[in-house]
């Protein structure tokens, strides 16, 4: 699709959302790999300008859930009703008549991701508090049954055991350990999970956390699944001490059982895509070294240390 036809489709979309509006400009937002994100600036019929974000879901997400656009829109409505820091949903379509792939439109949020906070301890505390708020959403007030089960996602990943293991990330040993204990006995109630909670999915404005974005991986499951993913991402972004501080902050405000955290850590560490996530070879090497340390601590904590070669 060329730029001209793309803009024509976005102009029709703008007029679908706000009749008689005019598309002023579009620009691609970089950072995510699971969806294609475009910002629109439109002029409404009353002369006001408005910015919108269009998220077109990727092929992998659509294979897992063809109804992902409707589900994400519904979840964002629930998050807004609970006052959680999330994008305001505006529109969705999965017919293929407006754009070729399903998409969700949300209001633009004035904010940026932060990877060099002035006060790291405060930054991590706010991240932990926000994750706790997500996990505390009252499922009794909302029907969240349309969301997938996180444990089933991992059961499927473990069942799809590749013929050749990637031992550069200790895949065989991770899989052996997880397969021996899966499914994990339930120790915590099932909660709403963001599914990909990390600093790159959190927006800040003037030192305040203003939104958690990119909810297409949301699921129901053990809160430790989200915590483990965040722990690995924080190791990559800020180091081991930051991970420990973030974890302690989260633990200090909850009474959930942390017995199975090492296993969820191993789930988070399974088959990382370094080449997609790292900016260059140096960054990839640093990520690999941090991943190695993360896997070691998970094995040691689960009393399943694989030896000195990890």
Q: What is the pLDDT of residue 32?
A: 61
pTM (2 d.p.): 0.93
Under the banding of pLDDT at 50, 70 and 90, the label for residue 230 is very high
Better-predicted residue by pLDDT, 139 or 37 = 37
| Helices of type H across the chain | 3-17, 59-64, 68-81, 120-135, 150-159, 171-181, 223-238, 240-251, 261-269, 274-277, 281-301
Under the banding of pLDDT at 50, 70 and 90, the label for residue 63 is confident
Domains of the chain: 3-107 (3.30.200.20), 120-301 (3.90.1200.10)
Q: Is residue 186 predicted with pLDDT exceeding 80?
A: yes
Q: Is 41 exposed, middle or buried (0-12, 13-18, 19+ CB in 10 A)?
A: middle
Task: Kindly report the backbone phi and psi dihedral angles of residue 22, in degrees, each rounded to the nearest multiple of 5, phi listed first.
Answer: -130, 130
């Amino acid at each position: 699709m060329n730029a001209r036809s793309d803009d024509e489709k976005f102009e029709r979309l703008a007029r679908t959302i706000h009749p008689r509006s005019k598309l002023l400009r579009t620009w691609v937002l970089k950072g995510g790999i699971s969806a294609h994100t475009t910002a629109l600036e439109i002029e409404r019929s009353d002369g006001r300008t408005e910015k919108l974000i269009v998220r077109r879901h990727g092929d992998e997400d659509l294979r897992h859930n063809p109804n992902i656009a409707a589900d994400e829109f519904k979840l964002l409505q629930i998050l807004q009703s609970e006052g959680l820091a999330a994008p305001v949903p505006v529109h969705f379509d999965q017919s293929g008549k407006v754009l070729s792939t399903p998409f969700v439109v949300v209001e633009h949020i004035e904010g940026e991701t932060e990877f060099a906070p002035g006060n790291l301890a405060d930054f991590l505390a706010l991240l932990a508090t926000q994750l706790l708020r997500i996990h505390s959403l009252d499922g009794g007030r909302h029907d969240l049954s349309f969301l997938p089960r996180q444990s089933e996602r991992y059961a499927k990943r473990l069942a799809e055991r590749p013929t050749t293991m990637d031992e550069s990330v200790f895949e065989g040993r991770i899989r052996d350990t997880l397969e021996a204990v899966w499914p994990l006995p339930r120790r915590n109630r099932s909660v709403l999970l963001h599914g990909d909670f990390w600093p790159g999915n959190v927006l800040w404005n003037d030192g305040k956390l203003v939104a958690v974005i990119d909810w297409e991986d949301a699921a129901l499951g053990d809160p430790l699944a989200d915590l483990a993913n965040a722990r690995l991402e924080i190791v990559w972004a800020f180091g081991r001490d930051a991970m420990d501080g973030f974890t302690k902050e989260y633990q200090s405000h909850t009474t959930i059982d942390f017995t199975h955290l090492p296993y969820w850590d191993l789930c988070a560490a399974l088959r990382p895509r370094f080449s997609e996530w790292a900016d260059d070879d140096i960054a990839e090497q640093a990520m690999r070294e941090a991943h190695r340390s993360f896997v070691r601590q998970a094995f040691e904590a689960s009393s399943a240390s694989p030896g000195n070669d990890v």
